[in-house]
Amino acid sequence: MTASFGDGTRCVHAGLPEPVPGQPFLPGPVFAAPYHLDPVTGPAAAPDGYGRPDNPTRRGLEAAIGELEGGDCRAFATGQAAITAVLMSVLRPGDTVLLPGDGYYTVRSFAASTLEQLGVRVVYAPTAGPYPSFAGVRLVLLETPANPGLDVCDVSALSAAAHEAGALVAVDNTTATPLGQRPLDLGADITVASGTKALTGHSDMLLGYAATRSADLLGRITTWRSHTGAIPGAFDAWLAHRSLATLDLRLARQSANAAAVAQALAARSDVELVRWPGLPDDPSYEVASRQMRRIPGVVSFDLGSAERVGRFLTASRLVFAATSFGGLHTTADRRAQWGDATPPGFVRLSCGIEDPADLLTDLNASLS
């Protein structure tokens, strides 16, 4: 898809096959485990031989995400499977990896339970910095905006510094999505994300992916996926591809709702530590304004106590208590209940696509 088209057009047409009379725009999922093989030449005669490494529905989704991210993509069963594949296909015993200290907590848990046990040295840095020297580091993993605190880091500057020291850079692009920023354009070697969140946006499936412009890295990631079997099912891949068509529309409403919600929360004296990188006084505003094409629909804030969060969610008619984010419905998650190192009243609010006036009325009434 030519880069001259806008986001909406690219999302609608990404990864679609050439039009054939009598065929659907997006062919239905192929569920085969084995495929017919040529009796003489075997698997060399066709692209599909066995369902774990080969599936045309999955390849269509990968082509679509790859167009949006600007690289070659491999889809995974979950975001955690994708990020695990990146870590395990790049790192070896004796290597050093730099992880975000304020990013997705399961990545830190995996590092402590698995990477360190395999002899990988794990170093942490906050997303907003300061960062240590990258000398001797094999892989720098960035998550920007960070989940759940929403700090933003300068991907271009950090990628340049890491490359100068001989390190690879991977960026978790879950919160931003490829319509919010394209890490590969900013100098990263790999972009990785949970497609469970805003990318697919309907809160009805699990998905992950990794994308890169390096044939070597793509080969390693593909081999890891084939050996571990961490593939998404054919129907999930089809659902995800179908959902991409509305990504631009969904993000536009979610971002607009987040702007209104963040301003409303910041105006209240009974709400603390409101974070949204689109607010002019947010600590991440300057970097986000330069780096991001749109600010995501996630807002974080502190209500002071777990009890008040519970009262707020019980009173609300439109804000559902749920983990994950990026869906059509507005949800709120008290992160400390999952073991995240956040204050007991810290809330990550994911704005859905409700009418802004209704959402603000419900939010203010529930908080009061």
Domains and CATH numbers, the chain: 7-244 (3.40.640.10), 248-367 (3.90.1150.10)
Band of pLDDT at residue 1, cut at 50, 70 and 90: low
Residue 142 host element (H or E): strand 139-143
Q: Burial of 112 by CB count in 10 Å (0-12 exposed, 13-18 middle, 19+ buried)?
A: exposed
Does this model's pTM top 0.75? yes
Per-residue model confidence as pLDDT tens digits over 316-344: 999 999 999 999 999 999 999 998 889 99
pLDDT at 43 over 70: yes
- Asked if residues 138 and 95 have their Cβ atoms less than 8 Å apart, the reply is yes
Strand pairing report for 190-194 and 208-212: antiparallel
Per-residue model confidence as pLDDT tens digits over 152-179: 999 999 999 999 999 999 999 999 999 9
Residue 341: its pLDDT value, please? 86
- Mean pLDDT to the nearest integer, 68-96: 98
Per-residue model confidence as pLDDT tens digits over 172-199: 999 999 999 999 999 999 999 999 999 9
Residue 96: its pLDDT value, please? 98
Residue 79: its pLDDT value, please? 98
User: Which two tokens mark 167?
Assistant: 């390190």
Per-residue model confidence as pLDDT tens digits over 213-264: 999 999 999 999 999 999 999 999 999 999 999 999 999 999 999 999 999 9
Residue 340: its pLDDT value, please? 87
Q: How far is CA 160 from the centre of its chain?
A: 22
Q: What is the C-alpha to C-alpha distance for residues 356 and 262, in angstroms, rounded to an integer?
A: 12
Tell me which residue of 212, 210, 195, 299 sits closest to 247, measured CA to CA. Answer: 195
User: Which two tokens mark 342?
Assistant: 């956040």
Quickly count: other Cβ atoms within 10 Å of residue 199's Cβ: 26
Q: Burial of 356 by CB count in 10 Å (0-12 exposed, 13-18 middle, 19+ buried)?
A: middle
Q: What is the C-alpha to C-alpha distance for residues 341 and 105, in angstroms, rounded to an integer?
A: 8
Look at the alpha carbons of 44, 48, 50, 54 in this order and tell me if their dihedral is positive or negative: positive
- Asked if residues 52 and 61 have their Cβ atoms less than 8 Å apart, the reply is no
Strand pairing report for 298-302 and 346-350: antiparallel
Q: What is the C-alpha to C-alpha distance for residues 335 and 171, in angstroms, rounded to an integer?
A: 22
Phi-psi map region of 357: left, alpha, beta (phi>0 left; psi -120 to 50 alpha): alpha
Residue 2: its pLDDT value, please? 60
Query: What integer best gives the mean pLDDT of the chain?
Result: 97
User: Which two tokens mark 26?
Assistant: 């997006």
pLDDT at 212 over 60: yes
> Residue 329 gets which letter from DSSP?
S
Quickly count: other Cβ atoms within 10 Å of residue 207's Cβ: 27
Spatial CB neighbours of 178, under 8 Å, sequence gap ≥ 6: 65, 68, 69, 70, 191, 199
User: Which two tokens mark 257?
Assistant: 């709702």
Band of pLDDT at residue 150, cut at 50, 70 and 90: very high
- Overall size of the chain counted in residues: 368
